[in-house]
Structure 1
């Protein structure tokens, strides 16, 4: 670590030592004992500008306090059938660890429909997975390897990506904005697999809009990416959609527990059991209440808005060129 890097971390730490106690408490839930690495993440996200990183981190802490994020792991989505519906339509899971000890998260971007529950359930579920990763999985991996492990690897499956994905862009932008503002620099590398032509067309125009730091993290792999991914992880850690020969649907698997998106997968079973246990510790005599955990939804940053508009424009263009859509209104995003 260079002198300038360490100086910036020290400056930010000195500023954070001055925040009020309530913010310090929620900061502990963020850094989990790895404070320098956490400060470094926020500094990277603001191009090493200490004042901007300080504002970003304080805003994040205030968001956590205002939305009771520290308690979100005590709020399982119930009943289980509703949570299963969320899992079946918001395809995300954890398949294992890379050889460096980084958790491998899989996202079924192309086949996620986000149509089985309200927006707030999907945001709640996403934040719960983030918090479980940061408070349980990463600290456990750090202890196992005897060094700080504070980031993960993500494999994004584009199988099934269609023009109808336009209706999901709004929600996906909200979720990515939550991550950008409150969980910055948590992903080491994004691997894109099973990319159809429509993705390639969008990527070509979106890529130049991304910050160089983000562009360097994205790798578009050939086919299901199996051969490339096996260079950094064992076969057992591959997401299920990367294990098959050739491309294929990522929603279903012959064995339900094999699909890392399924509620029956060990990762989701452990996560759900953990949340129910935490709920019983917090309110031992109270039944778990049904209802979504509402989080204030952030406004997308200017960069994110530009990217969404570019994707929308490219999808409309693609649809019109291929005769896949009639008017622009047919693809209008709903505000519901």
Structure 2
């Protein structure tokens, strides 16, 4: 069976619980969260949302509660629902992140990322634009879908394109604040050594990643790999997220089959091997995003107090990020 159609809105962990048992745990989690005064948070804490956090922690209420409380704290500080186009329009100018005008064969929203087109130096602004893009991608999901596809193009990318701190914060935001929202991540034409990192397991993983990165960044320099300042690259994707990543190369016919399996090639952007010549056009995309802002009811002045609070918030400020180790994927016992 195709890997594409193995995926669904549910999780393999769901199969260990009946619908009634799942609802019981949702109710238990809601009780543990207590009353919320923020209308935005009340809207965020739907049964569907609680279910996603529970699935991310294999229906362990205690672990899901810890994760969700941290996410609520982050949302109260960051206020993602208030971000509008005018707040992040500069970040969007190069098309480094945008929602595609096509979906995959399962009807999932496609978010295109082009890290090689980074045009700003503000990590805060970059994360703010990512969050804005995530919120709008989720808003455009159909009722029968809750996951999206990330299509990442590595053209023009270098090690200096994205600081490690921004990369780490991107992963933390996605995994800890938007769990069970990623259905598939396609890395298109990444450096081949990335896949070598990915396939390496257990004890060799840390050492190979650490050594290889410094060989790339400083090929002619002697580097003390044992020093603490060089031990900066660690795997910070959880196990379930890693399973969703696929490597595709334009000169590899076998990996190109993944694109044909996931997308309608007549709709897919030609930059990814499809037949659609249309690419990112800033002005038309800006109009589309402003329409989305109106739909979300989040139009506000970019220099308002809410906007200032949002722009200064970080995933790490005032938020204890849940440890990925808490999310051990053990199917709960039933009965």
- Same-fold call, TM > 0.5? yes
Shift of 1:289: 3.3
Which residue matches 1:155? 151
User: Residues 105-131 of structure 1: CA distance to partner in whole angstroms, max 9, x if unpaired?
Assistant: 11113x133x42522222221111111
**Which of residues 261, 270, 273 is equivalent to 1:243?**
273
Tell me if 1:219 matches 2:246.
yes
CA contact (8 A) 2:183 2:244 kept: yes
Q: Which residue of 2 aligns with 1:332?
A: none
Work out the CA distance in 2 between the residues paired with 1:271 and 1:128.
Answer: 10
Q: Conserved in 1, the CA contact under 8 Å of 2:120 and 2:126?
A: no
The equivalent of 1:309 in structure 2 is: none
| TM-score, structure 1 as length reference | 0.66
Tell me the equivalent position of 2:117: 112
CA distance in 2, matches of 1:49, 1:217: 22
Are 2:53 and 1:72 equivalent residues in the alignment? no
Residue 263 of structure 1 is aligned with which of 278, 282, 285? Answer: 282
Match of residue 163 from structure 2: 168
- Counterpart position of 1:46: 57
**Distance between the aligned counterparts of 2:196 and 2:158, measured in 1?**
12
What's the CA shift for 1:242? 0.8
Q: Comparing both structures, which one devotes a greater share of its residues to helix?
A: 1
Shift of 1:239: 3.5
Shift of the alpha carbon at 1:52? 0.7
Q: More relative contact order in 1 or in 2 (CA 8 Å, sep 6+)?
A: 2
**In the TM superposition, what is the alpha-carbon distance from 1:29 to its structure 2 partner?**
3.5
Q: Which SS does the other structure have where 1:106 is aligned? A: strand
CA distance in 1, matches of 2:263, 2:98: 19
- Cα deviations by residue, 1:124-181 (Å, 9 ceiling, x for unpaired): 21111111222x302xx22xxxxx311111111122332334x522212212212222
Distance (Å, rounded) in 1 between the aligned partners of 2:274 and 2:263: 16
1:86–1:122 contact (8 Å) kept in structure 2: no
**Using the alignment, how far apart are the partners of 1:94 and 1:63 within structure 2?**
27
Distance 2:168 2:256 in 1: 28
Asked if structure 2 preserves the Cα contact closer than 8 Å seen for 1:153 and 1:188, the reply is yes
SS in 1 for 2:17: helix
Structure 1 residues without counterparts, runs of 5 or longer: 143-147, 246-252, 305-336
- Three-state SS of the structure 2 residue aligned to 1:228 is helix
1:10 alignment partner in structure 2: 24
Shift in CA distance, 184/132, structure 1 to aligned 2, threshold 3 Å:
same
Aligned residues: 268
Query: 1:181–1:164: structure 2 CA closer, same or farther, 3 Å change rule?
Result: same
CA pair 25-276 structure 1, distance change in 2 beyond 3 A:
closer
Please provide the CA RMSD for this pair. 3.5
Q: Deviations over 1:183-203 (max 9, x none)?
A: 112111111211233433443
Residues 239 and 47 of structure 1: is their aligned pair in 2 closer, same or farther, counting only changes over 3 Å?
farther
Using the alignment, how far apart are the partners of 2:150 and 2:95 within structure 1? 18
* Cα distance in 2 between the residues matched to 1:295 and 1:201: 37
Partner of 1:103: 109
Q: Which residue of 1 aligns with 2:210?
A: none
Tell me how far apart the structure 2 counterparts of residues 183 and 20 of structure 1 sit (CA, whole Å). Answer: 21
Shift of 1:69: 2.9
